[in-house]
């Protein structure tokens, strides 16, 4: 009898923990990624203000200097330049969106579908 009580309480607690994790706001779940992404976005904006242009996506040396994360880190954001003045940072996890991303035009982090059309049209 005690075994079934312990098992049922454990299952109820497990369901509550999973439900709570799912309902947490993305700012809490991805706090570390947002913090490192903010540093990267600030460094990119500073670089643009100093040089007058944003680095291209294939300028690995410049991007490694600007990013607070080490190269080949699995949680490093994908950098996409949009036009001459704007960029998007995307933390890609898995194959399907939604993804955590930062758009420099609105300067806000979102957990949603990134604006793929704008990235493809550049």
pLDDT for 4: 87
Mean pLDDT of the chain: 86
% of the chain beyond a pLDDT of 70: 90
Q: Tell me how far CA of residue 74 lies from CA of 12, 103, 118, in angstroms.
A: 33, 20, 25
| Bridge partner list, 86 | 82
pLDDT digits (tens, 9 = 90+) for 37-95: 999 999 999 999 999 999 998 888 898 888 887 766 667 888 999 888 899 999 888 78
Q: What is the pTM of this model?
A: 0.78
Q: Is the pLDDT of residue 113 over 60?
A: yes
> What percent of the chain clears pLDDT 90, i.e. is strictly above it?
42
H-only helix segments in 24-97: 26-29, 31-51, 60-66
Domain ranges for the chain, please list them.
30-120
């Amino acid at each position: 009898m005690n075994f079934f009580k312990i098992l049922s309480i454990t299952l109820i607690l497990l369901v509550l923990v999973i439900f709570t994790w799912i309902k947490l706001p993305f700012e809490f779940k991805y706090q570390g990624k947002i913090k490192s992404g903010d540093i990267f976005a600030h460094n990119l904006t500073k670089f643009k203000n100093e040089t007058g242009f944003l680095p291209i996506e294939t300028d690995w040396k410049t991007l490694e200097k600007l990013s607070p994360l080490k190269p080949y880190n699995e949680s490093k954001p994908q950098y996409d330049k949009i036009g001459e003045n704007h960029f998007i940072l995307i933390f890609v996890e898995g194959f399907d969106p939604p993804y955590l991303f930062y758009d420099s035009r609105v300067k806000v982090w979102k957990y949603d579908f990134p604006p793929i059309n704008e990235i493809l049209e550049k």
